[in-house]
Amino acid sequence: MSAGFRFRDYVPEESTEKGFDSLFKIFMQLVTITSGDVGEALSWLNELDKQYGLTDDGYGMGDFIEDLKKKGYIDEDPQEPGAFSITAKSEQNIRKSALEEIFGKLKKSGQGNHRTPHTGQGDEQSTDMREFRFGDSLDQISMTESIRNAQLNHGMEGDNFMLTENDLEVRENEHKSQTSTVLMIDISHSMILYGEDRITPAKKVAMALAELVKQKYPKDFLDVIVFGNDAWQIEVKELPYLQVGPYHTNTVAGLELALDLLRKRKTPNKQIFMITDGKPTCLKEANGYYKNSFGLDRKVVNKTLNLAAAARRLKVPITTFMIASDPYLQQFVEEFTQVNQGKAYYSSLKGLGHLIFEDYKRNRRKSV
């Protein structure tokens, strides 16, 4: 897909705000679209400035570039003046921006761990109260509630105060549990076919999920893999730079690698997040690749569904983020998710903030 086509498809939000902050929001979007190419992003930003008047006499594009350098968002190559690259600070900011765009409605919590239905001696106190039991520690006793119970049960006679074991209430502790997550990202050629840029929203979802896990569940393990003809592991910091290759979609290879990674993790809970446009088209066989790009080949589909069932038997739920609106592709995702008894999010390319969520295990469907 040419940069010109994607540029015409991007229109900044109307704003009367000028200066660094307004330009920075657009720059972050463009850097994501250009897969971390700062020069191309700044070139597009210049064109947008000419068309929409993003700067004025008080603050120009030159000022913005200098501020990007001063604030640590881009580095200039000393050997090649005018050649820039984004920094680790920018990489994290891109992930945070994606998180806010896609999951901005989620309430932030403190330390962030996964709850289990078990109670007792755990990591973090809840708001639930219960009667005192043998073995409860003293620091679990809620003195305010216990004294109130004593007053209600025994009353107050002069200076005498009676507190019995039956008056004691304790605050429940919630058990917290580590989770191992594998994030799978489709980088096949179909992610940019037919005049649709599917890889940019896919990257945004991937970066949002990665940042969500890092912020809300810091004790969790997160592995990231990409899949085309084959599947391989990448680092979280590489997400902004992802590009589509001349690949078919070997979802089977991606799932096999994901399950292999999860088998090595000793955490009690494991899950897979898969971001795709929904059409597996390739298998790796002993004598090469079996490929069929024209439709949902049953040979490819059946092996993919077999792995969905295998993941279910291993108690590994798969949450699919479907970055396409084609009904027949959604039909495959529905079948895949039903077999796994997992969950699916369906999103249009331009509406990442509005996702249709489907939980097949609980038979629930809602907009988020």
pLDDT tens digit string along 309-367? 999 999 999 999 888 878 888 889 999 999 999 988 887 655 555 555 445 455 555 55
Angle among Cα 198, 282, 347 to the nearest 5 degrees reads 25
The two three-digit tokens of residue 229, written as one number: 């003809």
Strand, coil or helix: 89: helix
Strand, coil or helix: 274: strand
Strand, coil or helix: 156: coil
Angle among Cα 29, 31, 32 to the nearest 5 degrees reads 65
**What confidence score (pLDDT) does residue 212 get?**
85
Which amino acid belongs to residue 152?
L
Return left, alpha or beta for 196; rule: phi > 0 is left, psi -120 to 50 is alpha, else beta. beta
In what order do the strands lie in the sheet containing 169-177?
114-120, 169-177, 124-131
Q: What is the DSSP string of 169-218?
A: EEEEEEEEE-EEEEEEEE-SGGGG-TT---HHHHHHHHHHHHHHHHHH-T
Query: For residues 169 and 41, what is the distance between their CA atoms, to the nearest angstrom?
Result: 60
Strand, coil or helix: 327: helix
The two three-digit tokens of residue 221, written as one number: 């393990």
List Cβ<8 Å contacts ≥24 apart for 156-164. Answer: none
| Number of neighbours of residue 334 by Cβ within 10 angstroms | 17
Above 70 in pLDDT, residue 86?
Answer: yes
Angle, helices 61-70/38-52, rounded to nearest 10 degrees: 140
Above 60 in pLDDT, residue 134?
Answer: yes
Query: For residues 7 and 241, what is the distance between their CA atoms, to the nearest angstrom?
Result: 18
Q: Tell me what the mean pLDDT of segment 189-211 comes to.
A: 88
Strand, coil or helix: 261: helix
Above 90 in pLDDT, residue 20?
Answer: yes
User: Which residues, 6 or more positions from 117, have their beta carbon under 8 angstroms from its beta carbon?
Assistant: none
**What confidence score (pLDDT) does residue 248 get?**
95
**Closest to 11 measured CA to CA, from 35, 37, 33, 36:** 33
**What confidence score (pLDDT) does residue 205 get?**
87
Tell me: the pLDDT tens digits for 207-253? 988 988 888 788 889 999 999 999 999 999 999 999 999 999 999 99
pTM (2 decimals)? 0.73
Which amino acid belongs to residue 252?
V
The two three-digit tokens of residue 244, written as one number: 């589509």
